[in-house]
Amino acid sequence: MKSVNASVDEKRLWDDLMALASFGAREDGGVCRHALSREDIASREWLIGKARERGYRIAADSAANLFLTRFGCDNDLPPVLAGSHMDSQPAGGKFDGAYGVLAAFEALRALDDAGLETARPVTAVAWTNEEGGRFHIPCTGSRAFVSGKVPEPDQTDEEGVTLADALKRTLDAAPDVERIAPGFPVHAYVEPHIEQGPVLEAEGLPIGVVTGIQGVRWFNVTVTGEPGHAGTVPHAIRRDAFQATLRAVSALSTLMEDPDDVVRFTVGHVSVVPNSPNTIPSSVRFSIDFRHPERGVLDARAARIADLIAREVRPCTAEVAMTTSMQPVVFPDQITGAIAKAADTEGLKHRALASGAFHDAAHIASVCPSGMIFIPCRGGLSHHPDEWATPEHCAAGARVLAGALAQLAA
Amino acid sequence: MKSVNASVDEKRLWDDLMALASFGAREDGGVCRHALSREDIASREWLIGKARERGYRIAADSAANLFLTRFGCDNDLPPVLAGSHMDSQPAGGKFDGAYGVLAAFEALRALDDAGLETARPVTAVAWTNEEGGRFHIPCTGSRAFVSGKVPEPDQTDEEGVTLADALKRTLDAAPDVERIAPGFPVHAYVEPHIEQGPVLEAEGLPIGVVTGIQGVRWFNVTVTGEPGHAGTVPHAIRRDAFQATLRAVSALSTLMEDPDDVVRFTVGHVSVVPNSPNTIPSSVRFSIDFRHPERGVLDARAARIADLIAREVRPCTAEVAMTTSMQPVVFPDQITGAIAKAADTEGLKHRALASGAFHDAAHIASVCPSGMIFIPCRGGLSHHPDEWATPEHCAAGARVLAGALAQLAA
């Protein structure tokens, strides 16, 4: 009989990745699979079908997090979890999130195929709405798992659909799936993911053992001015919400300047009302994404944002709301050690590195020992249709995961 | 028998204005009636029904311009036209455009009620898509009338519907309306409109005799950068299309500075792709609306726009396309004189003033003697749900129009 690691099937995993990418496929080769969308629901059905073939326990909680469990010898023991998310950015790629879920599913099958019995159950998980693209609260699913309730169920997408309704629709589409309460005890959590940065590729390493995740603050800003006719209203009396936004974002960019280029500051979402060429904008809503590995830097600069915006938008007014605050996370040696050991066993070179992006693991880390496995991605590119990882690297990550899960669940 | 002027019915006109405002009524009291929309089609049916009751000739051309004609003694003579447009801004009011069409229709009824026979036919006209809110080419209808063909029929709205299809749908909805070719000979054109500026209200005058219209240049700009993950991509290698837009619009604002506050410069439409909080924007499309009464100023500053943008957006790239160029227009004494005389006859105080907004009259002025009548609007406000004119001022404008039409068609 083959070892667990050797039972990882590179072609099977790759075929699954390509199959999952067909749900919400974009013409440019990318993927647009918003959380709880028709495409997301169809991709869940596809994965549930594969889990059913294997005889796994299939369950979902009120946040529509999907749990596929391979039974252990003692199913009263808290399981070892592995996985990621299946939703994508609007112009996303085939690997961000999807790889983690399918690598975990492949690890379960490798445990089967190797005939390995584990003491603990091992569960592949797909967390809901990690990207926050449709409902602007990222990691909805892993947050719900940690807190025991869905955050902001009344929030709406651009079409006015509430999160609660979208969750109901998704759960109703899979009536045969067992319903469980969110937030059960977990022994350990491992999340495989593409690096979304350039380090592993540049150093020619197949595996990154992730030491932690930088912290993040998200803000929604609404600037309110006064509409008017573009041809008649004198500039002296205008309250143009877009010009005010321009001043505010310009000042924020100065606040966020960093000679070491460690601060990450992005205004990614901007919507202008009424958005007509010959009407002075009456309001603008924009997002702020601000990240840094040190809590002190995050707190100090975040504290200055609201006052700075209020000053810059005059004579307009602004409302500034912090929607997300995640402290930097450090993963424990128990998990990083298991991952490093699994990679060593496989003869795969690896290095320690921190995550620039945040992940569901940042939330789950608050309820159990957690960690992440990175594989290289081409050009460090992600959140992009051209996002790419090789079949070899995908399989290597799944082998390291399978080895780590075998240790943690033994 | 009453005079033509005295036959204008203030209540009838006001009731029509309120009825027309119900097509596309917004909850905030404003109107959203996009050109060729379901609401626009319904409002046309309503007006056609009223014209049919009066026995007017009802015709439409390929641009869906609607012509309601009261016959003269010699219907081979080119008619006198009066009117405006029925489409609104997305967050527009009850008067912009609508007032001009209904004042013209009221003037026709006043001619009827006064029993006045005119030598020439007199036609109330509703031009298509003046605002350019849905299809971003303003004055589609009056341009088509002047050139003999619909401009850019393949242009699409935000949902991918072509202008050609939207026109067909609108025309098909009124199969009984006579179809005529665009661009027949016209003797004179008068467009009544709210001022959309503060002058008449400030001076307590009911009537403005419009001397001309300032020139305008519209541009569409597309800035192209590179998407990427907001948490991982170092700022040193980013090509953030929104940050590039911010630099470009900031430099444009400096270019357009004017101590006399005569230049009008507005960025009213901005759309960001993919518009997700944690993805670096890959492209931004924005509009430029630039106006001035002097052609020299328009030409000199407009000529610098493309190079300035190209320089500021680096390392992104930009495409800059001028979509509209209208020279300043001066209305002839023949029309301003007829309007002033009609106001004097009514004992209505008036003054000469230029239009800050552009209008269909700017196009029609190239094919026949044209002019405009302004009435005051509250606070100079327009393109806004709170846009307002009083019943008295609306009727005063219609009386002056009726008097001017009687002179011009006699």
Residues in B closer than 8 angstroms to A383, CB to CB, are 227-230, 276, 278-280
- Across all residues in chain A, what is the average pLDDT? 95
- The confidence score (pLDDT) of residue B198 equals 82
Handedness of CA A39, A45, A50, A56 (dihedral sign): positive
- What percent of chain A is modeled with pLDDT above 70? 100
- The confidence score (pLDDT) of residue A239 equals 96
Q: What is the mean pLDDT of residues A381-396?
A: 94
Beta bridge partners of A126: A66, A84
Residues in B closer than 8 angstroms to A264, CB to CB, are 230-233, 235
Which ranges in chain A are annotated with CATH 3.40.630.10? 4-214+328-409
Q: Tens of pLDDT along A24-73?
A: 999 999 999 999 999 999 999 999 999 999 999 999 999 999 999 999 99
Residues in B closer than 8 angstroms to A355, CB to CB, are 231
The CB-based long-range contact list for A138-142 (8 Å cut-off, 24+ gap) reads A138/A218, A138/A324, A138/A358, A138/B278, A139/A358, A139/A359, A139/A360, A139/A362, A139/A363, A140/A35, A140/A63, A141/A63, A141/A64, A141/A65, A141/A85, A141/A360, A142/A65, A142/A360, A142/A361, A142/A363, A142/A364
- Whether A229 sits inside 8 A of B356 (CB atoms) is yes
Which residues 6+ apart lie within 8 Å of A176 measured at CB? A58
- The confidence score (pLDDT) of residue B293 equals 85
- The confidence score (pLDDT) of residue A1 equals 57
Local confidence band at B3 (pLDDT 50, 70, 90 cut-offs):
confident
- The confidence score (pLDDT) of residue B98 equals 98
Residue B388 forms contact with A (CB below 8 Å):
no
- What percent of chain B is modeled with pLDDT above 90? 88
Q: Tens of pLDDT along A209-234?
A: 999 999 999 999 999 999 888 988 88
Q: May I ask the CATH architecture of the domain B4-214+328-409?
A: 3-Layer(aba) Sandwich (3.40)
Interface of A with B in 156-195 (CB under 8 A): none
Q: Tens of pLDDT along A14-23?
A: 999 999 999 9
- Angle, nearest 10°, between helix axes B10-21 and B98-114? 150
Interface of B with A in 109-138 (CB under 8 A): 131-133, 136, 138
Residue B290 forms contact with A (CB below 8 Å):
no
- Whether the pLDDT of residue B322 is over 60: the answer is yes
Q: Tens of pLDDT along A125-182?
A: 999 999 998 998 889 999 999 999 999 999 999 899 999 999 999 999 999 999 999 9
Q: What is the mean pLDDT of residues B88-100?
A: 96
- Whether B280 sits inside 8 A of A261 (CB atoms) is no
Residue A29 forms contact with B (CB below 8 Å):
no
CB nearest to A261's CB, from B236, B246, B277: B236
Residue B11 forms contact with A (CB below 8 Å):
no
Local confidence band at B154 (pLDDT 50, 70, 90 cut-offs):
very high
Q: Tens of pLDDT along B353-395?
A: 889 888 999 999 999 999 999 999 998 888 889 999 999 999 9
CB nearest to B266's CB, from A138, A234, A280: A280
Of A8, A374, A7, residue with least CA distance to A197:
A374
Least reliable range by pLDDT among A273-277, B2-6, B295-299: B2-6
- Across all residues in chain B, what is the average pLDDT? 95
Q: Tens of pLDDT along B361-371?
A: 999 999 999 99
Q: Tens of pLDDT along A329-368?
A: 999 999 999 999 999 999 999 999 889 888 999 999 999 9
- Whether the pLDDT of residue B1 is over 80: the answer is no
Residues in A closer than 8 angstroms to B258, CB to CB, are 235
Interface of B with A in 199-228 (CB under 8 A): 214, 216, 218, 227-228
* Secondary structure (3-state) at A179: strand
- Whether B273 sits inside 8 A of A197 (CB atoms) is no
Which residue matches tokens 């069409």?
A: B101
Which ranges in chain A are annotated with CATH 3.30.70.360? 215-326
Which residues 6+ apart lie within 8 Å of A296 measured at CB? none
Of A383, A391, A392, residue with least CA distance to A30:
A383
Minimum Cα–Cα distance from B288: chain A residue: A277
- The confidence score (pLDDT) of residue B241 equals 98
pTM surpassing 0.95?
A: no
Which residue matches tokens 């600069």?
A: A301
Count Cα atoms within 13 angstroms, Cβ side, for A409. Answer: 35
Q: What is the mean pLDDT of residues B348-352?
A: 96
**What's the rounded Cα separation, in Å, for the pair B362 and B339?**
17
Q: Tens of pLDDT along B69-84?
A: 999 999 999 999 999 9
What the block records as the tokens of A112 is: 């089967």
Interface of A with B in 51-110 (CB under 8 A): 89-91
- More confident site: B229 or B97: B97
The separation between CA B390 and the C-alpha centre of its own chain, rounded to angstroms, equals 20
- Whether the pLDDT of residue B306 is over 90: the answer is yes
Residue B258 forms contact with A (CB below 8 Å):
yes
- The confidence score (pLDDT) of residue A216 equals 92
Min Cα distance A2 → chain B (Å) is 38
- Whether B229 sits inside 8 A of A356 (CB atoms) is yes
CATH number of the domain at A215-326, out of 3.30.1950.10, 1.10.760.10, 3.40.50.2300, 3.30.70.360? 3.30.70.360
**What's the rounded Cα separation, in Å, for the pair B85 and B89?**
11
- Whether the pLDDT of residue B328 is over 80: the answer is yes
Contact (Cβ atoms closer than 8 angstroms) between residue B402 and residue B4: yes
